[in-house]
Structure formats: C-alpha cells, structure tokens
Structure 1
Amino acid sequence: MKTDYHNHLEKGELTLDYLKQFTDQAKAKDIEHFGISEHAYHFYQTKDILSNPWVDARRYYDMEDYVSLFHQAWDANIDVKMSIEMDYTPGKHQEMKHFIEQYDFDYVIGSIHWVGDFGIDLAEFRAEWDKRDLYDTYRGYYDQVITLAESNLFDIVGHLDLVKIFKYVPEDESFLLEQYDRATTALANSKTCVEISTAGLRKPVGELYPDPRLLKMCYDKKIPIVLSSDAHEPDHVGADFDQAIDFAKSAGYTSLMTFEKGKRKEVPLG
C-alpha cells in the first residue's frame, strides 16, 4: 500500500478538471490512498487563526467551494480524501479546534511554517536566517512541534523537520538530537502520525523529511507514518516514492497509517 496525503491545488483552480489531474497521476503511480490538503491560510474562514501581511495577501478561497469540489469528485466516483494543512499557531488552539470540527475531514495535517514573525520556509524570508540565532530558531521550532503534538488536534504532522529547508542546521549534534528526542516523545504521547515527505528532495536541502536520526527515533517510539509528496503540481504526485519506501524500511517500518473520515487503519508498507 502507498499513501500520498499532502497535496495542493493552489497553483490551479478549485475545479474537478484540475483535481482530476492529481488523482489520475496518483492512479498511474498505484497510490491507493490519495488526498488533497490545501493550506488553511488560503481560506477566509481562518483569518482569526493566522493573520499577517504575507498570509493575508494569499487568502482567496472559501471553504464552501472547497467542500463542494470534493462532493463533485465523490459524485463522479473519484477516490480522493478531503483534508486541510493547518499552520499550527500557538495560542489559537480553540480557534483551530473550532475550524477543524466544522468540516468532515478525512484527516488533518498540522505544520509549522512560522517561528514568531519568521516564515522559515519562504524565499522572501531567506535572508533572515543570517540575521537570527540559529539555535534559538531551532529551539522555537521544536517547541511548537511539542505543543502541536500536545494539542492532539492533528492526525499528521507535516514535514517534521522543515526547519532545515535552506540547509541551516546546527553543528552541535547533541543539541539537534535533544530537539529530536523531546519532539518525538511528545508525538509518541499523541495521536499524531509523521509523514515521510519527498518534498525535501526538491528543496535546497536536497533530502527527505525527516532526518534519518529523527525517523529512527519515531520508529523506536512507535510513532506511525504516512508517505507524502507535498505536490503543488500534478507531476509531483508520488514523486520519488521509491526512495521514501526504502527510507521507511531502513528505519524499521513495515506499515503505514491510512485515514477515512477521521478513522485510522494500519496497512502494510509496499
């Protein structure tokens, strides 16, 4: 079995024709469990959760149209899961919970893209990496991984070590392993799965998420996994999944978690 649960329509339109380009690619790559998880910040309904000038300039969808698209797909016998990728926002647990509970999502991804006012994965903010203390940024990032897990609002944590995207990585390995350890301990005590994401291979860091040492800690603490491509265009659906599967197996994994209407089921990895 293969999953691809982290995908975006934002470069196109919320139309059945565009969605079908993604699902056709998933079918061609023998991905049995496929989902769309658009960024929640694109929707007008999340303005009370995350709001800043960068985000607000990119808020242009209505959830009614998003949900309607999935119903059109299901009516056309297209097998696609309905999800959302939420920017985990400290101090907004009640607002996030209220938003999530309004919709019949198959699963919900929680991701961290902001450490305070710092958009860590955005090209527009890249120069900030040389102005800020690297260790403070990493500590702040993993602080949020912990509270994301403790919130128990999310089924999957997206690209667990996204903070490495531009190759800014602490040289002190003991510090890094400490962050990994405390994050995985929190995740192990939650319902949150970890995705192996091939998106990192297409980013400056040039490697899978998460780091092999971090994935091994996930396995040792019995944290379930899913596979994801984080495709923002149809051609990237299922990209480099041969590497992702080998990577999962090298850490010891033999199974994946699947989702349907919030219910989870473990299936063999293959």
Structure 2
Amino acid sequence: MLTDYHNHLENGTLTMDYLQKFTDAAAAKGIGSFGISEHAYHFYQTADILQNPWVNERRFYDMKDYVALFQEAWNKGMDVKMSIEMDYTPGKHAEMEKFIQSYAFDYVIGSIHWVGDFGIDLAEYRKEWDRRDVNEVYKKYFDQVVTLAESNLFDIVGHLDLVKIFKYVPKDEEFLLEQYERATDALANSKTCVEISSAGLRKPVGELYPDKRLLQKCFDKNIPIVLSSDAHFPEHVGADFDQSLALAKEVGYNTIMTFSNGERKEYPLG
C-alpha cells in the first residue's frame, strides 16, 4: 500500500478536470490511497484562525465549493480523500477544532509554517533567517510541534522538520536532538501520524522530511507514518517515493497508515 495524502489544487482550479489530473497521476504511480489537502488559509471560513498580510491576500476560496467538488468526484466514482492542511495556530485551538468538526474530512493535516510573524518557508521571508537566531527559531518551531501534538486535533503532522527548508540548521547537534526528542515524545502521546514527505527533495535543503535521526525517533516511539509528496502540480504526485520508501524501511518501518472518514487503518508498507 502507498499513500499520497498531501496535495494541493491551488495552482489550478477547483474543478473536476483539474482534480482528475491529480487522481490520474496517483493511479499511474500505483498509489492506493490518495487525498487532496488544500491550505486552510485559502478559505474564508478560517479568517478567525490565522490573520496576517501574506495570508489575507490569499484567502479566496469558500468551503462550500471545496466540499461540492469532492461530492461531485465521489458521485462519479472517483476514489479521492477530502482533507485540509491547517496552519497550526497557537491560542486558536477552539477555532481550529470548530472548523475541523464542521466538515467530513477523511483526515486533517496540521503543519507549522509561521513562527510568530515569520513565514519560515517563504521565499519572501528568506532574508529574515540571517537576522534571527537559528536556535531560537528552532526552539519556537518545535514548541509548536509539541503543542500541535498535545492538541490532538490532527491526524497527520505535515513535513515535520520544515524549519530546515533553507538549510539553516543549529550547529549544536545536542540542541537539535533535544528538539527532536521532545517533539517525538509529544507525538507518541497523541493520535498524530508523521508524513515522510518527498517535497524537501524539491526545496533548497534537498532532502526528505523528516531527517533520518528524527524519523528514527518516531519509529522507536511507535509513531505511525504515511507517505506524501506535497504536490502542487499533478506531475509531482508520488514524486521520489522510492527514496521515501527506502528511508522508511531503513529506520525500521514496515507498515503505513491509511485514512477514510476520519478512521485510520494500518497496512503493510509498499
């Protein structure tokens, strides 16, 4: 069994024709469980959760249109999961929970893209990395991983160490491993799975998310995994899954989680 649960339609349209380009790509790659997880910040219904100038310029969808697209797909017999990728926002647990419970998502991804007002993975903010203390950013980032896990609102945590995207990494390995340790302790006590994301191979860091040492801690603490590509274009669906599978098996994984209607089921990997 292969999954690809982290995919975006935002560079195209919320139409059956565009959606089918993704599902066709997934079928061609032998992906047995496939889902779309559009960024929650694109939807008017999340305005009470996350507000900043960058996000506010990109809020242009209505959830009724998103849900209608999936309903149309299911009516046509298309096997595609409906999900959302939500920016985990400290202090907004009640609002996030209300939004999540308002829709029949097959699963929900929680991701961290913002450390305060700092968009850690955005090209527009890249120079900020040179103005900030890398250790402090990592500490605050993994603080959010911990509280994301403790919230138990999410089925999957997206690109667990996205913070490394531009190759800014603490020089103190002991400090870095401490962040990995506390993040995985929190995840192990939650319902949250970790995705192995091939998207990092297409980013400046040039490697999978998460780091092998971090994934090893996940395995050692019995944290389940899914596979994802974070495709923003159909051609990236299932990209480089050979590397994702190799990493998963190298650290010891031999099973994968699938999701449907909010329920998860374990299958042999690959």
TM-score, normalisation: structure 1:
1.00
Aligned to 1:123: 123
Letter in 2 for 1:229: S
Offset at residue 23 of structure 1 (A)? 0.1
Offset at residue 116 of structure 1 (A)? 0.3
After TM superposition, list the pairs within 5 Å mapping 1:83-232 onto structure 2.
83-232=83-232
Offset at residue 192 of structure 1 (A)? 0.2
Q: How many residues align?
A: 270
Give the RMSD, CA atoms, in angstroms.
Answer: 0.3
User: Does structure 1 residue 70 correspond to structure 2 residue 76?
Assistant: no
Offset at residue 39 of structure 1 (A)? 0.1
Offset at residue 231 of structure 1 (A)? 0.1
Offset at residue 53 of structure 1 (A)? 0.4
Alignment partner of 1:109: what SS? Answer: strand
Whole-Å separation in 2 of the counterparts to 1:21 and 1:258: 22
Offset at residue 6 of structure 1 (A)? 0.2
Structure 1 residue runs without a partner (length 5+) = none
Structure 2 residue runs without a partner (length 5+) = none
Offset at residue 164 of structure 1 (A)? 0.0
Aligned to 1:59: 59
User: Does structure 1 residue 236 correspond to structure 2 residue 258?
Assistant: no
Whole-Å separation in 2 of the counterparts to 1:123 and 1:242: 28
Whole-Å separation in 2 of the counterparts to 1:229 and 1:85: 13
Whole-Å separation in 2 of the counterparts to 1:48 and 1:121: 23
Offset at residue 132 of structure 1 (A)? 0.5
Letter in 1 for 2:122: L
Whole-Å separation in 1 of the counterparts to 2:28 and 2:136: 44
Offset at residue 179 of structure 1 (A)? 0.1
Aligned to 1:4: 4
Letter in 2 for 1:210: P
Offset at residue 218 of structure 1 (A)? 0.1
TM-score, normalisation: structure 2:
1.00
Letter in 2 for 1:153: L
Whole-Å separation in 2 of the counterparts to 1:251 and 1:153: 27
Letter in 2 for 1:91: G
Letter in 1 for 2:96: M
Q: Encode CA deviations 1:201-243: one digit per residue, 9 max, x unaligned.
A: 0000000000000000000000000000000000000000011
Letter in 2 for 1:4: D
Offset at residue 45 of structure 1 (A)? 0.2
Whole-Å separation in 1 of the counterparts to 2:233 and 2:96: 27
Offset at residue 75 of structure 1 (A)? 0.7
Q: Encode CA deviations 1:145-197: one digit per residue, 9 max, x unaligned.
A: 00000000000000000000000000100000000000000000000000000
Whole-Å separation in 1 of the counterparts to 2:263 and 2:41: 25
